[in-house]
Every structure is written in structure tokens, then in C-alpha cells.
A and B are shown apart, each in its own frame.
Chain A
Amino acid sequence: MSLFAYVPDAGNRALVDLADAHNDTRAVLLSSEQEGIALAAGADLVGARAVVCMQSSGVGNCPNMLSLVRGGGFPMLLIVTMRGDYGEMNPWQYPMGQAVGPVLEAMGVLTYRVDADADLEPAAQAAVDAAWRGGQGVALVLSQKFLGAKPF
């Protein structure tokens, strides 16, 4: 993996910091999540791998750009950290949070959900394999059961 493109979220902070600190990977701050889809496709054209990290709200910014996945056969790995999910206290987060699954499904992106610590490693491996061996678009969805809900 060479690029970790991201829109900041509390849930992806540690991962992005790790990617930034690692010698072989680079964290790339995006303005909008849909940029990450096109960026990952650009990396793929030159034989590199990029991951796109976003909060669940950001999935709502992506559908048209995800045309690259089903139409272009670009492998794609999204890491989606959930809001509007189990234990959410902010009513603004529920509409998009609950639409993450249907939106991704509509655009032909598989979803692998992580609810417990034990799910993480196998789901992450399965997602990587689906993307770069299977040529699929796939989202690793880290739920609020796994991450914990944001306390207000």
C-alpha cells in the first residue's frame, strides 16, 4: 500500500498517523472523499495501491465517482468509520450513517463490517484480497460497536 488518502475522522486518526509515520506509505489529506476514489484509480493506473479513509458521512460524497469501480474495473478499498450507528447521539448523523450500506451496494461496492476486535484482521485481509486479487470495490466498515460511539 503506498497512499492513504483521507478526510479526517476521529475513527481513522490513529491509522492515518501510522501511515504518515511509515517510510513506505504516505497520508494524503483530501478536501472531499470523492477525490480519494479518483486518486486511488490514478495510483492503480501506475501499478500502485491506495486506500481511501472516510467517515460514513463521506460515503454520501462518493457515488458518482464510484462509477470508476463498476464501469472501469478499478480495484478500490474504502475504510469507512461509522457515525449514525449503534449508540449515536447526534441526530444529524443518522440519515447518511444508515444509508451507507444501500449507497455502496447501489454503486457495486462490497461491504465487510467489523463489529468486534476479532473481526478486524480477517475482514481487513478479506477486503484487501477482494480489492487487489479479486478486482472488486470493497468497503471495510468499522461500526460504532467496534469503535465506540462518540460521547457528547
Chain B
Amino acid sequence: MLDRREVLGALFPDPGAYLMVAGLAGSARDAAALTGEADTLFAFGGAMGGAVPMGLGMALAAPDRKVAVVTGDGELLMNAGALASVASTMPENLSIVCIDNGRHGETGGQLGHTARRTDLAGMAEGAGLPSAMTVSDAAGLGEAAAFLEEAPGPRFVCVRVAPGPPAEYKRNWDPAECRLRFRRAWRESRTARRG
């Protein structure tokens, strides 16, 4: 089974190409480690269930930028209806990656629904996303990286990983500071693009 700490590096060889939202807990740490906590990463530390709808708002409001949501199975399921909102609006520039360990890692590793019968890529497909896939080994990660580049968006990748710790990363826990940091970086990137 996959070690979650190897997933994001394989899926996002050029993370700077994305505006990124990370769900709380392990996903936030993995995404912060991937990007060196880029200014254009907004990582949740609470408000569980907010990652996909935040990515949706970002993708709709910035249609010329690639937006990636990185989240976990528990976080995604808390607001699974957001997948239908994504499908109804069809932002081509939105990719959702779910690191599915079948556990609530932050609260003690209690089993989640996906450790039993729930299939998240099946739910994404059922919600109406045009592209959804599940991967669970190293070869699959390569396919998923290509899928993120090529499959019609909005796209969803479920990565089944072994239970185990996320990346070691001491991230900024102040959401107000992270908001200002993101907005500043966004403004600067707009100015640079306009030249």
C-alpha cells in the first residue's frame, strides 16, 4: 500500500502551477510539505468539510487558473454534497485529490466509512463529475498525474493509502494571516501576468 507522504510529490511535479486548498489535519501537512507552505496554499485547521467548496469558489472566481483541492476521506464526506455543487457548475480548472486512509487520523485513527464499504470515486462519479479515478499503488500514481493534466475537469482522484503519519511540517495556524498572505500573492501574480 502507498505511503501518503509519497503521494502529492508524484501527483504534482509542478505544484506552483496551482492555487491550492488543503483540508484539515494530515492533508494540510502533506500539502504544506509539498509546497514549502506556498503563499498560494490555503490550509484548513478546522471548519471540517470546507475544502471542496472553498476550492469551488476559487475555481469559479479565477477561471484562468488551475485550482487543486487536497483533502482526506473524513473531511470530504462531511460535506459530500459539495461534489454535486461542483458537478452542477463544471469548473474545468478544478482538480480534487482525496488522500483516503480510511481513518480519522487526527483524532486517534478511528476507522472511517471508506475502510468499510464507501467508494469516494464512485460518489464523485455519481455526483456528476466527468472524470474520477481511484489509485492504490505506485503505477497508479503515474496514471493519476497524467489524469490530472489531461482528463476533462472537474476531475477527482481518490488515492488509497496505508494508515500512517502525514509529512512532518510545522505550518502556520493563523487563518487570518494565511488569508492575507494568499491574497497578497494572488494580487502580485495578477500584476506580474498583466506585465
Chain A residues packing against B (C-beta within 8 Å)? 2-3, 5, 26, 28-32, 34-48, 50, 64-65, 67-68, 71-74
Chain A interface mostly helix, strand, loop or mixed? helix
Question: What is the distance, in angstroms, from A103's C-beta to the closest C-beta of chain B?
Answer: 16
Judge whether B61 and A2 touch: CB under 8 Å.
Answer: yes
User: B56: nearest residue on chain A (CB-CB)?
Assistant: A39
Q: In the bound complex, what is the Cα–Cα distance between A41 and B55 (angstroms)?
A: 9
Residues of A within 8 A of B21 (CB): 42
Judge whether A29 and B85 touch: CB under 8 Å.
Answer: yes
Q: Is B163 an interface residue (CB 8 A)?
A: no
Number of interchain pairs (Cβ within 8 Å): 126
Chain B residues packing against A (C-beta within 8 Å)? 19, 21, 42, 46-62, 65, 79, 81-82, 84-85, 88-89, 175-176, 178-180, 182-183, 186-187, 190
User: B51: nearest residue on chain A (CB-CB)?
Assistant: A38
Residues of B within 8 A of A34 (CB): 49-50, 53, 79
Residues of A within 8 A of B81 (CB): 30-32, 35
User: B187: nearest residue on chain A (CB-CB)?
Assistant: A47
User: B175: nearest residue on chain A (CB-CB)?
Assistant: A72
A28-B89, A31-B82, A47-B187 given; A67·B46 CB < 8 A: yes
